[in-house]
Amino acid sequence: MAVTLADVAARARVSAATVSRVLSGNYPVAESTRTRVLRAVDELEYVVNGPASALAAATSDLVGVLVNDIADPFFGIIAGAVQAEMVTPAGESGRGGEKLAVICNTGGSPERELNYLTLLQRQRAAALVLTGGAVEHPDHAAAVAAKASRLAASGTRVVLCGRPPIEDATTLTFDNRGGARRLTEHLLTLGHRRIGYVAGPAERTTTRHRLEGHRAALTATGVEQDAERLTVHGLYDRASGYDATLELLRRDRTLTAIVAANDTIALGVCAALRDQGLRIPADVSVAGFDDLPFSADAVPALTTMRLPLHEAGARAGRLALGREPQPPGGVAMVRAELMARASTAPPRG
């Protein structure tokens, strides 16, 4: 099957080693030889055998990117940004940086996450980027940490983006707690006191941190008494937001605001409120989190906490390639910014 290095070498009348050197560009080769080799490569339409090269060099050009749900733009944006960083910067020798960033969709399942980790370890991936909230089950957390350590030990760079730090990994955490707190403070400042909260799946770090920030704001203002009753958990999707809103209204028809754990949920919240004949924000204010592209276009435009997902992903990509210096302590925090828009207003009366 297919033309090999040796074929190219024969054609260019040099040794295989020389061809290899020309191709990897990391070793001086006479200009004349180089062009001769390159021409042979072209004529033969030679394509390097990745596995063979990975085996010999004990490292591959694969970079794994794990995401919880690739159909969710939150992850799509991050993953796209990571991948965009993999292209060789102009002016580098063609081959060098041609990493293949591969996006793996865990669907939020711990088993599949571990499975992908093994698959990537098997491929001897050059680096790994784990994105999004982590599942908090202790066994699983330990398993992931162990795998990460083993990978790091074998030379794979591990970068975390949007989840809490673990040992042996560089981490970009999102300020979910602080952001959530500021968001709820915004609502409190507007005068809201009965605020519903639609949380994500219970066992995710992102879910917990955002909920904690929300509660912290309530507590600081002394209105935390009903917090438990006014919280409903669901998935990070639109349908959960819809259902949770109906449940919240059932529990307390008098609430004047609902905070959603993310923008996608917020969309469902809005839909449910409208279906119940409630106006936004006249009757109920709504806020989300993330500031996905559609949020500014929602009607009314959604108040939310903006997370610079693209920038974070790009930085994670550079860290994975070792193209950007480690943050102090290996951990950097990405801040969230309040985008106060039309979906929040002072409560009526």
Contact positions toward DNA, by CB under 7 A?
1-2, 4-6, 13-18, 20-21, 23-24, 26-30, 32-34, 46, 48-49, 52-53, 55-58
Give the one entry of DNA, a second copy, none that residue 270 binds, where binding means its C-beta sits below a cut-off of 5 to 8 angstroms depending on kind: a second copy
- Sequence letter at residue 19: V
In the complex with DNA, which residue's Cβ is closer, 60 or 295? 60
Write out the two tokens for 135: 């599942």
Beta-carbon contacts of residue 17 (< 8 Å; ≥ 6 apart): none
In the complex with DNA, which residue's Cβ is closer, 51 or 346? 51
Give the one entry of a second copy, DNA, none that residue 338 binds, where binding means its C-beta sits below a cut-off of 5 to 8 angstroms depending on kind: none
Site mask, a second copy, residues 127-156, x = CB under 8 A?
-----------------------x---xx-
Using CB atoms within 10 Å of the CB of residue 250, give its burial: 0 to 12 exposed, 13 to 18 middle, 19+ buried.
exposed
Which positions from 223 through 242 interact with a second copy, judged by CB under 8 A? 237-238
Give the one entry of a second copy, DNA, none that residue 4 binds, where binding means its C-beta sits below a cut-off of 5 to 8 angstroms depending on kind: DNA
* Residue 37 binding a second copy, by CB under 8 A: no
The stretch among 10-18, 28-36, 67-75, 204-212 that binds a second copy (CB under 8 A) is 67-75
User: How far apart (Å, rounded) are the C-alpha atoms in residues 142 and 155?
Assistant: 20
Of these, 44, 141, 152, 271, which contacts a second copy (CB under 8 A)?
A: 271
The stretch among 20-28, 119-127, 196-204, 324-332 that binds a second copy (CB under 8 A) is 119-127
The stretch among 101-109, 170-178, 227-235, 325-333 that binds a second copy (CB under 8 A) is 101-109
Give the one entry of a second copy, DNA, none that residue 283 binds, where binding means its C-beta sits below a cut-off of 5 to 8 angstroms depending on kind: none
* Residue 114 binding a second copy, by CB under 8 A: no
Give the one entry of a second copy, DNA, none that residue 23 binds, where binding means its C-beta sits below a cut-off of 5 to 8 angstroms depending on kind: DNA
| Shortest spacing between CB 191 and a second copy, in angstroms | 26
Give the one entry of DNA, a second copy, none that residue 17 binds, where binding means its C-beta sits below a cut-off of 5 to 8 angstroms depending on kind: DNA
Write phi, then psi, for 171 (nearest 5 degrees): -130, 135
In the complex with DNA, which residue's Cβ is closer, 17 or 239? 17
Q: Which residues bind a second copy (CB under 8 A)?
A: 1-2, 45, 47-55, 58, 60-62, 69-73, 75-77, 79-80, 83-84, 87, 98, 100-105, 107, 112, 115-116, 118-124, 150, 154-155, 237-238, 267-268, 270-271, 274, 293-294, 297-299
